[in-house]
Structure 1
Amino acid sequence: MPLFDVYPLYNVTPVSGKDIYVYDENSTEYLDLYGGHAVISIGHAHPNYVEAVTNQVKTLGFYSNAIQNPLQVELADKIEALSGCKDYELFLCNSGAEANENALKLASFKTGKSRVIAFKNGFHGRTSAAVAATDNPNIVAPINAQQKVTILELNDILGVKAELEKGDVCAVIVEFIQGVGGLDQGTSDFFEQVYALCKTNNTMFIADEVQSGYGRSGKFFAFQYYNVTPDIISIAKGMGNGFPIGGILIHPDIEAKYGMLGTTFGGNHLACAAGLAVLNTIEEENLIDNVNAMSEYFISIAKTIPEIKNIKGRGLMLGLEFDFEVGDLRKKLIYDYHIFTGGASNKKLLRILPPLTIKKEHINQFFEALKKAL
């Protein structure tokens, strides 16, 4: 049976990984500066992660949410302690799309309203409401387009104000650093005014931290650079270091009711073990400090390369913008220099999303190759 052909594939077959490297079937070593869409947070096959997942799968890998699962409580407490998001409540699911889907659903339940405001070049997932709030008509099917979504320009505060004052908006969903869209960011004034407008118009303010969370931005969450308190925070990618897990942090003003959200696999024992291993490693190895140090080092070198016209993003969620489309450059980096990088909807942007364990020698290796490739 052939695979449904929806992914353009590079001719590389990774079979193993260790920290910031992956290896193909011929034992060729590749420097991974993309982490499988920012999923690999603590490095491939980190010993803490391998031990935690192995021990858990030996005992109990799964049972449904009909029973007590102390690992969920432990994970929730650890997220609260490391993120500083006090008094939020946690709902666990399996992916970023599910996290945003549940966030939007919860916002609609809470407000009794149904329209969503999202922003140009935003990406929130591929499921029903999440994909409708994504600014890419090519992946929005007619069944998704039935959702009520208004997509505005980032930083268009007058547009946001006008739409919120119509009274039918349940949520504004924001990426504080856009991922797929190309590392664009709103201004501090914009984010803080949107948050204030949401408060005065009975609208939930949703922080999409699926890609920017878990220290990748240089803080635990990217919204923490601003004076805002989201009603709902969605998380996923780096949360499980490759094991499927997602979730939403829910402000205590939103009251839970039995049955309003649900999931079969979300928050299973194995997922929680993976999630705890990630958080423990981030804490023990001071990885957020490393993010900031390595970001500063990376940017300092990038500024010396004349072909790089713009450096975008924060922390280890970075983009290098050129005055040409980077598709061929990415292929050259993979096939000639054995380095994985990422693309974006901005075709002139090279996206850098390495494991948070990256060191200076890895950054040096990348820039030496980039200069040759250019």
Structure 2
Amino acid sequence: MPLFNVYPLYDVTPVSGKGVYVYDDQGAEYLDLYGGHAVISIGHAHPKYVEAVSNQVSKLGFYSNAIQNPLQVKLADRLEKLSGCKDYQLFLCNSGAEANENALKLASFKTGKSRVVAFKNGFHGRTSAAVAATDNPNIIAPINAQQEVTILDLNDITGVKAELEKGDVCAVIVEFIQGVGGLDQGTSDFFEQVYALCKANNTMFIADEVQSGYVRSGKFFAFQHHNVTPDIISIAKGMGNGFPIGGILIHPEIEAKFGMLGTTFGGNHLACAAGLAVLNVIEEKQLMNNVINMSEYFIKIAQTIPQIKKIKGRGLMLGLEFDFEVGDLRKKLIYEHHIFTGGASNKKLLRILPPLTVRKEHINMFFEALIGVLANSEIVEAKV
């Protein structure tokens, strides 16, 4: 049976990983500066992560949410402590899309309204409401398009005010640092005004932290760079270091009711063990400090390279923008220099999303390779 052919694939077959490196089926080593869409937060095969997951699966990998699971409580307590989101409630699921789907559903339950406001170049997932709030018509099927969504320009506070004052908007959902869309950010003034407008118009303010959360921005959540308190915070990717896990943090003013949300696999024992291991390593290794220091180091070098026209993002969620499309550049980095990087809907942007454990020597390796590739006349001519 053939696989459903929906992914354009590089001709590389990783079979193992360690730290910031992966190794293919031929034994070749690759520097991973993309982490599978920012999923690898504490490094491939981190020993404490491997130990925690192995120990848990040897005892109990799964049972349903019909029973007590103390690991969920422990994960919620650790997350509250490290994130600073005091008194929020945690609902666990399996992915970022599912997290955003539940966030939007909960907002609709809470407000009794159905329309959503989202923003251009935003990406929130591929499930029904989440994909309708995503600014990409190519991945929105007719069944998704039935959702009531208004997409505005980022930083368009006049547009947000006009839409919210119509009285039918249940939620505003925003990435504080856009991922797939190309690392654009709203201003603090914009976010703070949106937050105030949501409060004034019985609208839930949803922070999509699926990619920007878990220390990647230099704070635990990217919204913490601004003076706002989201009603709902969606999380996933770096949460499990590769194990499928997601969730939403829910403001204490939102009351739970039996049956309001649910999931079969979400919050299973194995997922919680993975999630706890990630939080433990983040704290023990002081990875937030490493993110801040490595980001400063990376940006300082990037500023010396004239072909880089703009440096976007925060922390270790970074983008390098050129005046040419970067598809060939990425291929040369992976095939000639064995370095994984990422792309975006902005075809001129190279995305850098390494494990939070990345060091200066790895950044040096990247820039040495990048400078070498940029010296290639074929890449330079491609911009013309």
TM over 0.5: yes
Partner of 1:159: helix, strand, or coil?
A: helix
Structure 1 equivalent of residue 339 of structure 2: 339
Indicate the residue corresponding to 2:278 in structure 1.
Answer: 278
Aligned AA (1:315):
G
Query: What is residue 205 of structure 1 aligned with on the other side?
Result: 205
TM-score (ref. length: structure 1): 1.00
Is residue 255 of structure 1 aligned with residue 255 of structure 2? yes
1:88 correspondence with 2:88? yes
Give the 3-state SS of the residue equivalent to 1:59 in structure 2.
Answer: coil
CA distance in 1, matches of 2:182, 2:67: 42
- Once residues 346 and 242 of structure 2 are traced to their aligned partners in structure 1, the CA distance between those partners, rounded to angstroms, is 26
Q: Which secondary structure state, in structure 1, belongs to the residue aligned with residue 192 of structure 2?
A: helix
In structure 2, how many angstroms separate the alpha carbons of the residues matched to 1:251 and 1:186?
23
TM superposition shift of 1:194 = 0.2
Q: How far did 1:71 drift?
A: 0.1
> For each residue in 1:115-169, what CA deviation from the matched residue of structure 2 results, as whole angstroms up to 9, or x when unmatched?
0000000000000000000000000000000000000000000000000000000
Structure 2 residue matching 1:15: 3-state secondary structure: strand
Whether 1:57 aligns to 2:57 is yes
Q: Which residue of 2 aligns with 1:229?
A: 229
Equivalent-residue separation in structure 1 for 2:241 and 2:77 (angstroms): 19
Equivalent residue letter for 1:82: L
Structure 1: unaligned runs, 5 residues or longer:
none
Tell me the CA shift for residue 188 of structure 1: 0.7
Question: What's the CA shift for 1:261?
Answer: 0.1
- 1:371 aligns with 371
Q: 2:70 matched to which residue of 1?
A: 70
* 1:1-374 → structure 2 map (5 Å cutoff): 1-374=1-374
Give the superposition deviation at 1:222.
0.2
AA paired with 2:21? Y
Between the aligned residues of both structures, percent identity stands at 87
Question: What code does the residue aligned with 2:173 have?
Answer: I
Please report how far the alpha carbon of residue 369 of structure 1 lies from its aligned counterpart in structure 2 after TM superposition. Answer: 0.2
Offset, 1:272: 0.1
How far has the Cα of 1:240 moved from its partner? Answer: 0.1
Distance 2:354 2:270 in 1: 24
Amino acid at match of 1:177: I
Instruction: Work out the CA distance in 2 between the residues paired with 1:288 and 1:253.
Output: 29
Per-residue displacement from partner, 1:278-312 (whole Å, max 9, x unpaired)? 00000000001000000000000000000000000
The TM-score, its normalising length taken from structure 2, stands at 0.97
> In 2, Cα distance between the equivalents of 1:51 and 1:342?
30
**Matched residue of 1:291: which SS?**
helix
CA positional deviation for 1:23: 0.2
**What CA distance in whole angstroms lies between the structure 1 residues aligned with 2:126 and 2:166?**
27
2:58 partner SS: helix
Corresponding residue of 2:377: none
**Distance (whole Å) between structure 2 residues aligned to residue 274 and residue 149 of structure 1:** 35
Q: 2:360 and 2:187 mapped to 1: Cα distance?
A: 30
Deviation of the 1:26 alpha carbon: 0.9
Q: How many residues align?
A: 374
Shift of 1:15: 0.3
